[in-house]
Amino acid sequence: MKRMSIVAAALLTLAQASKSYRDASLSVSERVEDLLAQMTVEEKAGQLFHSMLPQAPLNVTSETRNSTEFMLKEQLLTHFNLLGGISNPAETANFINSVQKVALSTRLGIPVTISTDPRHAFTENIGTGFAATSFSQWPESLGLAALRDASLVEKFADIARQEARWSRIANTMGEDAALTSELVVAYLKGFHGENFGPDSVSTVTKHFPGAGPMENGEDSHFVYGKNQTYPGNNFDHHLIPFKAAIAAGARQMMPYYSRPIGTKYEEVGFSFNKGIVTDLLQHELGFKGVVCSDWGLITDTEIAGQDMPARAWGVEYLSEKERALRILQSGVDQFGGETRPELIVDLVKDGAVSEERLDVSVRKLLREKFELGLFDSPFVDVTKANGTVGKPEFVQAGNDAQRRAYTLLTNTILPLKVEGKWYLEGINATYLESRGLTVVKTPEEAEFAILRLQTPYVPRPGGFEKNYHTGTLEFSEEEKGRQAKIYATVPTIVDIRLERPAAIPEIAEHAAALLANFGSGPEALLDVIFNVNGYGPEGKLPFDLPRSNAAVEASREDVPFDTKDPVFRFGHGLRYE
Ligand SMILES: *[C@@H]1O[C@H](CO)[C@@H](O)[C@H](O)[C@H]1NC(C)=O
Ligand SMILES: *[C@@H]1O[C@H](CO)[C@@H](O)[C@H](O)[C@H]1NC(C)=O
Ligand SMILES: *[C@@H]1O[C@H](CO)[C@@H](O)[C@H](O)[C@H]1NC(C)=O
Ligand SMILES: *[C@@H]1O[C@H](CO)[C@@H](O)[C@H](O)[C@H]1NC(C)=O
Ligand SMILES: *[C@@H]1O[C@H](CO)[C@@H](O)[C@H](O)[C@H]1NC(C)=O
């Protein structure tokens, strides 16, 4: 009898213990510790992986991917980044809830956290962001930088927070570390809100320790772009915005793929780099949040039909298991874009990694879930999401920013009256015709011309690689000659999308007006050209525009404002009279 009551008491305690992490009246630390104490090695290992989530049926398996159901139920993953555009917010909200339901049905019912690359601008690249579809559409972050307006950045982030309730910082705020610092702080404030909590979106600040100084301007997703170089001995300068972000409460940090060449640090990818993650980021800079690696450092894979070796730069010779070990030893908490919890379980079984080491990272990851309120309110409110995404005032604010971020570099004719015959390239005639204008087929017939251009780049092959625009910043001689004829024939307004700092002195010299945009729709351009509702260019360049590609090649990768005799300086931007 006595024995039975002891057993009963023990069972009762167990039952209570197993539930107390669900008790919202306890502190986050108490809840985290209670849950952690009940987790198996397998459950802990699952937390360490942040995998990709296509908006597809949960039971579909492919050659490169186990089914979502398998990842949730067998591999015990609870962190996913959502792929693909969102055309129907209610559908996506329901989809996310269906994923959540499966997660909640597992033994401990740890809710999933959904993340995403930015989806509020124009870039469409599975590796960096998705074009806004249902969401309000804004210029790229460079356009926000062009407006030099921290309160607008905060407003943007606040709107993106409400629309998405998820995001990560991507792209850049330009060439100036002080401006970047000011704006990144506003950005974090907008996403996190006054106090980090259930209404916040957590952010990943990236890429540590600054991803700008790429050797030859290449991208370290790719083998030829693995090196980051510091010929100007300017490593510390790139830490300035990260210090500001940490002081402003940055929650998560992502080291870049690249490896530093010629510094005091080991020449291995930043997530494999203990000197970078543990010594610099965590000890020197005092960062206490989650460190999530960039995507795919362990496993060779295929992206958009292209073979992509694991980005294990400098440690290519290690086995998959050794790479995972090395990443954990460097101080990283979570493996981005990987689904290999079995490697971690093996490492613990082998005695190579202690369970206490896993606890350090799992504790941080669980804390984030508790603070975001995911245990207490795991489901997306479909009606609210449907009513919030693409709300008219949000769309209006994005449209307003697209117009105001226009940066006027040269001008002899703007603004224009709504009249005349127009020759167009890069903009559909219907946009002008619907404003009552006449569109003609040749420059010779026209009174004005609009050329809507993209920053030059050299196309790369491959389904994935083609999205990364690199190579010369000048137009080819042939294209320069073709444009010159138009400029000589008709007053021409050039609108160039500056996704990188183009080298276009010839356009500055010969176009009747040169406008730069950082992501804008055709209606935004026309509103600026015709000064509709008082819209005029208000942007200032967030970087220098170089004289030539040769000047860029001669500049040092890690030194801002280093090209010789730039055509326009950082901060240049004319206004209408
Ligand atoms: C996946 O689930 C759907 C709906 O329940 C079902 O029709 C389909 O047969 C399943 N597919 C697989 C591969 O199990
Ligand atoms: C699917 O899961 C198994 C078992 O965990 C794992 O070995 C395999 O690598 C996974 N496949 C993919 C493509 O992630
Ligand atoms: C990177 O730097 C190393 C060391 O200086 C050099 O050997 C290598 O050619 C560079 N480029 C690439 C793509 O590895
Ligand atoms: C979502 O919003 C649209 C537009 O307001 C509405 O037509 C649709 O019925 C809503 N769907 C749901 C599921 O609430
Ligand atoms: C221009 O827009 C019209 C109407 O939206 C569309 O039918 C047409 O295909 C477009 N033309 C081009 C060249 O994109």
372-428 residue pLDDT tens: 999 999 999 999 988 888 889 999 999 999 999 999 999 999 999 999 999 999 999
Quick check: 100 pLDDT over 60?
A: yes
Point out which residues pair with 303 in neighbouring strands.
306
259-271 residue pLDDT tens: 999 999 999 999 9
Residue nearest atom 8 in ligand 5 by C-alpha distance: 428
Residue nearest atom 11 in ligand 5 by C-alpha distance: 428
Residue 277, amino acid:
V
At 89, is the pLDDT very low, low, confident or very high (cuts 50, 70, 90)? confident
Is residue 495 flagged as an active site residue? no
SS3 assignment, position 40: coil
End-to-end CA distance of the chain: give it in Å, rounded: 94
* Top-confidence residue, 282 or 384: 282
Taking residue 206's Cβ as centre, other Cβ atoms within 10 Å add up to 20
φ, ψ at 144 (rounded to 5°): -65, -35
The enclosing H or E element of 97 equals: helix 89-104
Catalytic residue among 34, 117, 176, 294: 294
CA 545/CA 500 separation, integer angstroms: 9
Residue 28, amino acid:
V
- Determine the pLDDT at residue 406: 97
Point out which residues pair with 37 in neighbouring strands.
none
21-60 residue pLDDT tens: 999 999 999 999 999 999 999 999 999 999 999 999 999 9
Token readout for 108 is: 């401990």
Nearest bound ligand to the CA of residue 431: 5
Point out which residues pair with 424 in neighbouring strands.
450
Place of tokens 């998959």: 320
Among the listed residues 95, 68, 90, 93, the one whose alpha carbon sits nearest the alpha carbon of residue 79:
68
Q: What structural domains and CATH numbers belong to the chain?
A: 406-554 (3.40.50.1700)
187-228 residue pLDDT tens: 999 999 999 999 999 999 999 999 889 998 888 999 999 999
Sign of CA dihedral 430, 431, 435, 440: negative
With a 6 Å cutoff on the Cβ, whether 64 touches ligand 1 is: no
CA 387/CA 138 separation, integer angstroms: 19
Place of tokens 């295929």: 302
Using an 8 Å Cβ cutoff, are 61 and 70 in contact?
Answer: yes
Residue nearest atom 9 in ligand 5 by C-alpha distance: 428
Place of tokens 């407003």: 155
Rounded to the nearest angstrom, the gap between the alpha carbon of residue 181 and the centroid of all alpha carbons in its chain is 17
Tell me the HSE value of 341 on the side-chain side, using a 13 A CA sphere: 25
Q: How many residues does the chain have?
A: 577
CA 343/CA 442 separation, integer angstroms: 63
- CA-based radius of gyration for the chain: 26
DSSP string, 236-299: GGGGHHHHHHHHTT--EEEE-S-EEESSSS-SS-GGG-HIIIIIIIIIIS---SEEBPPS-SSS
Pocket test for ligand 3, best of 216, 219, 227 (most atoms within 8 A of CB): 227
Using an 8 Å Cβ cutoff, are 528 and 535 in contact?
Answer: yes
